[in-house]
A and B are shown apart, each in its own frame.
Chain A
Amino acid sequence: MSEAIILDGVSIHLPDQERAVLSEVSLSVPEGELALVVGRTGSGKSTLLGAMCGRVPHFTGGNLAGRVLVDGRDTREHRPRDLADVVGVVGQNPLAGFVTDTVDEELAYAMEQLGLSPSVMRKRVEETLDVLGIADLRGAPLRELSGGQQQRVAIGSVLTAHPRILLLDEPTSALDPTGAEEVLATITRLVHDLGVTVVVAEHRIERVLHYADLVIHIGDGQVDVGTPAEIMRSSQVAPPVVELGRLALWSPLPLSVRDARRLARTNPLPLAAVAPTAPANLPQAAAILQAEGVTVRYAGGLVAVADVSLTLERGSVTALMGRNGCGKSSLLWALQGTGTRSSGSVLIGTGPTSVDPARLAPAERRRRIGLVPQTASDLLYLDSVGAELAVADRESQAAAGTAARLLNRLAPGIDEAQHPRDLSEGQQLALVLAVQLCAGPEVILLDEPTRGLDYAGKEALAGVLHDLAEEGRSVLVSTHDVEFVAECADRVMVMASGEIVADGPTAQIVVSSPAYAPQVAKILGGDYLTVAQVHEAIALSVAQVRESSTGAAP
């Protein structure tokens, strides 16, 4: 079998960085395989993909030692544009890479650059529309498509050039579970039917792992390559199904829910007889935010939120789920009071102190209800972390050092002299959260905070949200990440086209939905949602066994 991509002794130094991002990497990806690149946030996944398409170092600058051969072409002599006919690259944010306005023009763009004849272009555009299942979107404006559709058009726009290799950098990170499934189904179809070599970098490994032939694991500049089962045994990042397999000492390690279910049937886990209760739900907790009939209507007649009523309780973490574009962000902004609210009422607090946040001045408002927006970095504008924290103290009229103490609790060890833009996504999120918590709001809203976080980052965030709830605050977090919801939320609300269609305890809502069920629940049934719960149950059962054996001995 010939190799599609060969890296030979590659070391990469990016400008302004002392340490090499990757050092002495040698690997090869055989033709027609699906390779998955995994690693912690900031471990160099994107850089590796960049090296494979010539963007590193031609576009980013920096220094690349060694040799990269892509379909036999050396990236030293070939710029990215000279590789356009063999490598297709799709990024995280498809909208940012679109050059034209409509779907078919976008699909034709790469072919125009390659100078193909109009008749070939017409044929390939039609074929690609069919392969991706978007034929009915032919003339649609790109900006009006849903996230999953946009991502499929982005894949299509590189496919029309008939590349032998496809590089995808987090193709599903911004998508809801259903949209992600569509995109992944398309990718596997390309591998199986067309024999395209695909390299995918992905944080949410659980979505892709069972399709992969090869896993490239990056940790501390070192790169290991192997079959999924080999790599997952010791990987720094692993999906719940693998964590469960490691916990249960299953062999071979399960990679898909189906494998794990089979193993669970043959080697049942020693689980305690009592089903674990869902994370502690305070009985009859006091309502802290009450919304009645909230409607958000935008200019142009689009109704983003339609007549939503909800109550948030003190000391709870509530997750807000739903498709891309179903109105989650609009609802959060409307509840906070800064965003548009066409009608309805929102009240914070109880009794005579209750107040509508939209009526308050911004400075007063954030003392009652805080919001961390989707692009958290919008809130940061100063040139050091220390300066941001000091300004946050002053803005909230809090004692000096309050924000710094909060940040240290959320993400210890951030150097205050660093520029906020140089922080990792998780650290930026922690900084913004510290800034917002500094004002001491009773209600905290977070819009898609898990974007770009690896498993450890999400676990840390879940811990933080839990602590906030323990302090008696109320947390509402919108997310697509079912595993994160299983870990942190007491209650789940599901939105669809501007309305709340389901609302209830996490276990009840997510287990009953095929798209939103976490992996552990799919494997072991509805009683358990996370690996941690299973771990507890096993410990409990071991303790029970020990108890009964010591009880029987005398």
Chain B
Amino acid sequence: MAWWGWAIGMAIAVSQTTNPLLLALALAVITVVVVSRRGSSPWARSFRLYLWLGVFIVVVRLVLHVLVGLKTGDHLVLSLPSVQLPSWAAGITLFGDLTLEGLIGAALLGLRLAIMVAAVGAANALANPKRLLRALPGALHEIGSAVVVSVTVAPQLADSVQRVRRARELRGAASTGLRAIPAVALPVLEDTLERSLLLAAAMDSRGYGRHPHAPRGGDHITSALTLGGLLAAAVGIYGVLDASTSAFLGAPALILGLALSALGLWRGGRGSRRTTYRPDPWRAAEWLTLSCGVAAAAAMLLTARHSPEAIGMPLEPLAWPELPMAAAAGLLVGALPAWLTPQPPRPVRRGIPTRAGRVSAGV
């Protein structure tokens, strides 16, 4: 839970800047923390996947820039013929002269998004999503379990694809290529459906979704509260992130929105009588992690308000970016959890691993 707070803080910090020095620093901080504090669950291995997704984002951003981007600047890199689109798409020019300024700007925007994605990936790798579920308010519990169960299906799916492909080979047929798709997909689909039905039946028989005394009347107030809260929170986040709006739209709107949402969730959760076995404790280490994330975001937001030119990449004229001390220090504070939090517990391993276990470990 605390890791998610930390990751959101890092993401907010990153979203403010296009300064390559700060971006590189943020990426380094996230990577260091993930590498030193991730557990040994299959989730922990997913970070690399998010990094590749980030690379993909940067590449797509560059390609889009070459295709339709607005090309400005003086440093010509490559001269491409520009294609004027017909009148129904007036104003869009394909290709055109590529400038250094444009390319760097596009790459940095892509990198910013990629690092925000990496921050989310870091949270995913550091905290088991199933544990996040336990911290969800009662009203969201059922949606939450559905999401978590559907995520758990992925390793099982990989397992059954592998099994069916080997079975295809037993029949002497190629297990790859277009023609093998129906032969592999059908048994896999069948298998997945069967598993889901079994799981659903098991959860049902164990009391999932029991509402002994579901309150009916309060539903409208609950939804009004939640909806209003979400709207206010959205406005608030916009206000906080956009340095040019008035101060009133920022923090106060956000706080009001969160309060309304919390009230709505509390009302919605009253009906369900669920409890939590051994809830995750919230101790000093959790506070520390959360406050490191908040510090990183706060330092960046302050720099953005007071010296907005320092955290952007100077493109016109093109120049070497300066390193704003406050923002950099904030990001470095974000790296502290890598040393100050306790090591993740190593799970006890016993018995002979099943084949399923091996496959999920390999994914």
Chain A interface residues (CB < 8 Å from chain B): 53-55, 59, 79-85, 87-89, 91, 93, 95-102, 104-105, 108-118, 121-122, 125, 136-137, 139-141, 143-146, 149, 157-158, 161, 298-300, 302, 325-326, 329, 333, 336, 338-339, 362-366, 370-371, 373, 375, 377-381, 392, 395-396, 421, 435-436, 439, 497
A114 touches B351 (CB 8 A): no
A109 touches B350 (CB 8 A): no
| Chain-A contact segment, one of B6-14, B22-30, B95-103, B274-282 | B274-282
B275 touches A116 (CB 8 A): yes
Report if A137-B350 is in contact (Cβ < 8 Å); known contacts: A362-B173, A370-B170. yes
6 A-B pairs closest in CB distance: A84-B207, A97-B202, A115-B273, A108-B277, A113-B207, A363-B172
Beyond the given A144-B353, A158-B205, could you list 17 further A-B residue pairs with CB under 8 A, ordered by the A residue number?
Answer: A80-B201, A81-B204, A81-B205, A81-B207, A82-B210, A87-B205, A108-B278, A113-B274, A121-B277, A149-B351, A298-B358, A299-B358, A366-B171, A373-B170, A378-B164, A436-B170, A436-B171
Question: Which residue of chain A lies nearest to B183 when distances are taken between CB atoms in the complex?
Answer: A381
B190 touches A421 (CB 8 A): yes
**B169 CB-CB contact with A under 8 Å:** yes
Task: Collect the chain A residues with CB atoms within 8 Å of residue B182's CB.
Answer: 381
Report if A115-B170 is in contact (Cβ < 8 Å); known contacts: A53-B205, A325-B352, A378-B164. no
Task: Collect the chain A residues with CB atoms within 8 Å of residue B171's CB.
Answer: 362, 366, 379, 392, 395, 435-436
Which one, A112, A113, A362, A377, contacts B174 given CB within 8 A? A362
Complex: A148 Cα to B360 Cα, angstroms: 21
**B187 CB-CB contact with A under 8 Å:** yes
Report if A113-B206 is in contact (Cβ < 8 Å); known contacts: A333-B166, A339-B166. yes
Complex: A338 Cα to B173 Cα, angstroms: 12
Task: Collect the chain B residues with CB atoms within 8 Å of residue A146's CB.
Answer: 351-352
Chain B interface residues (CB < 8 Å from chain A): 41, 128, 130, 145, 149, 163-164, 166-174, 182-183, 186-187, 190-191, 195, 198-210, 272-279, 347-358, 360-362
A111 touches B277 (CB 8 A): yes
18 inter-chain pairs at a CB distance below 8 angstroms, sorted by A residue, are: A81-B209, A84-B207, A89-B201, A89-B205, A96-B195, A104-B277, A114-B273, A140-B350, A143-B353, A143-B354, A145-B354, A146-B352, A149-B351, A300-B361, A300-B362, A325-B354, A333-B166, A375-B163
Task: Collect the chain A residues with CB atoms within 8 Å of residue B186's CB.
Answer: 381
Task: Collect the chain A residues with CB atoms within 8 Å of residue B174's CB.
Answer: 362
A81 touches B208 (CB 8 A): yes
Task: Collect the chain A residues with CB atoms within 8 Å of residue B272's CB.
Answer: 115
Which one, B130, B195, B199, B275, contacts A112 given CB within 8 A? B275
B198 touches A97 (CB 8 A): yes
Task: Collect the chain A residues with CB atoms within 8 Å of residue B203's CB.
Answer: 99
Question: Which residue of chain B lies nearest to A120 when distances are taken between CB atoms in the complex?
Answer: B275
Complex: A115 Cα to B206 Cα, angstroms: 12
Report if A338-B205 is in contact (Cβ < 8 Å); known contacts: A122-B278, A381-B186. no
Report if A118-B278 is in contact (Cβ < 8 Å); known contacts: A80-B205, A97-B199. yes
Complex: A81 Cα to B210 Cα, angstroms: 6
Question: Which residue of chain B lies nearest to A149 when distances are taken between CB atoms in the complex?
Answer: B351
Task: Collect the chain A residues with CB atoms within 8 Å of residue B210's CB.
Answer: 81-82, 84, 113-114
Which one, B172, B279, B350, B362, contacts A144 given CB within 8 A? B350
The listed residue with most A CB atoms (<10 A of its CB), out of B167, B171, B200, is B171
Report if A93-B351 is in contact (Cβ < 8 Å); known contacts: A161-B206, A395-B173. no
Which one, B187, B199, B200, B362, contacts A381 given CB within 8 A? B187
Tell me the smallest distance from the CB of B37 to a CB of chain A, in Å: 19
A-B contact count (CB 8 A): 203
B274 touches A112 (CB 8 A): yes
Tell me the smallest distance from the CB of A368 to a CB of chain B, in Å: 11
Which one, A113, A141, A377, contacts B208 given CB within 8 A? A113
Task: Collect the chain B residues with CB atoms within 8 Å of residue A88's CB.
Answer: 205
Tell me the smallest distance from the CB of B351 to a CB of chain A, in Å: 5
Question: Which residue of chain B lies nearest to A339 when distances are taken between CB atoms in the complex?
Answer: B166
Complex: A274 Cα to B9 Cα, angstroms: 86
Task: Collect the chain B residues with CB atoms within 8 Å of residue A380's CB.
Answer: 187
Task: Collect the chain B residues with CB atoms within 8 Å of residue A136's CB.
Answer: 350
A93 touches B274 (CB 8 A): no
A144 touches B199 (CB 8 A): no
Task: Collect the chain B residues with CB atoms within 8 Å of residue A116's CB.
Answer: 275
Task: Collect the chain A residues with CB atoms within 8 Å of residue B170's CB.
Answer: 336, 338, 362, 366, 370-371, 373, 379, 436
A118 touches B354 (CB 8 A): no
Tell me the smallest distance from the CB of A472 to a CB of chain B, in Å: 22
B361 touches A111 (CB 8 A): no
A84 touches B277 (CB 8 A): no
Question: Which residue of chain B lies nearest to A373 when distances are taken between CB atoms in the complex?
Answer: B167
Task: Collect the chain A residues with CB atoms within 8 Å of residue B356's CB.
Answer: 95, 143
Tell me the smallest distance from the CB of A53 to a CB of chain B, in Å: 6
Report if A109-B187 is in contact (Cβ < 8 Å); known contacts: A300-B361, A362-B174. no
Tell me the smallest distance from the CB of A115 to a CB of chain B, in Å: 3
Which one, A100, A101, A114, A144, contacts B349 given CB within 8 A? A144
Task: Collect the chain A residues with CB atoms within 8 Å of residue B130's CB.
Answer: 100-101
Question: Which residue of chain A lies nearest to B182 when distances are taken between CB atoms in the complex?
Answer: A381
A55 touches B205 (CB 8 A): yes
Tell me the smallest distance from the CB of A367 to a CB of chain B, in Å: 8
Complex: A96 Cα to B152 Cα, angstroms: 11
Complex: A84 Cα to B207 Cα, angstroms: 5
Task: Collect the chain A residues with CB atoms within 8 Å of residue B200's CB.
Answer: 59
The listed residue with most A CB atoms (<10 A of its CB), out of B182, B187, B275, B358, is B275
Task: Collect the chain A residues with CB atoms within 8 Å of residue B164's CB.
Answer: 378
Question: Which residue of chain A lies nearest to B356 when distances are taken between CB atoms in the complex?
Answer: A143
Task: Collect the chain A residues with CB atoms within 8 Å of residue B349's CB.
Answer: 140-141, 144
A145 touches B173 (CB 8 A): no
Report if A99-B205 is in contact (Cβ < 8 Å); known contacts: A366-B171, A381-B186. no
Question: Which residue of chain A lies nearest to B185 when distances are taken between CB atoms in the complex?
Answer: A381
Complex: A102 Cα to B345 Cα, angstroms: 14
Task: Collect the chain A residues with CB atoms within 8 Å of residue B352's CB.
Answer: 144, 146, 325-326, 497
Tell me the smallest distance from the CB of A384 to a CB of chain B, in Å: 13
Complex: A365 Cα to B277 Cα, angstroms: 53
A91 touches B202 (CB 8 A): yes
Complex: A269 Cα to B350 Cα, angstroms: 49
Complex: A96 Cα to B354 Cα, angstroms: 14
Task: Collect the chain A residues with CB atoms within 8 Å of residue B350's CB.
Answer: 136-137, 140, 144-145
Tell me the smallest distance from the CB of B293 to a CB of chain A, in Å: 26
Complex: A548 Cα to B206 Cα, angstroms: 68
Tell me the smallest distance from the CB of B283 to a CB of chain A, in Å: 17
Task: Collect the chain B residues with CB atoms within 8 Å of residue A137's CB.
Answer: 350-351
Complex: A370 Cα to B353 Cα, angstroms: 27
A439 touches B362 (CB 8 A): no
Tell me the smallest distance from the CB of A142 to a CB of chain B, in Å: 9
Tell me the smallest distance from the CB of B38 to a CB of chain A, in Å: 16
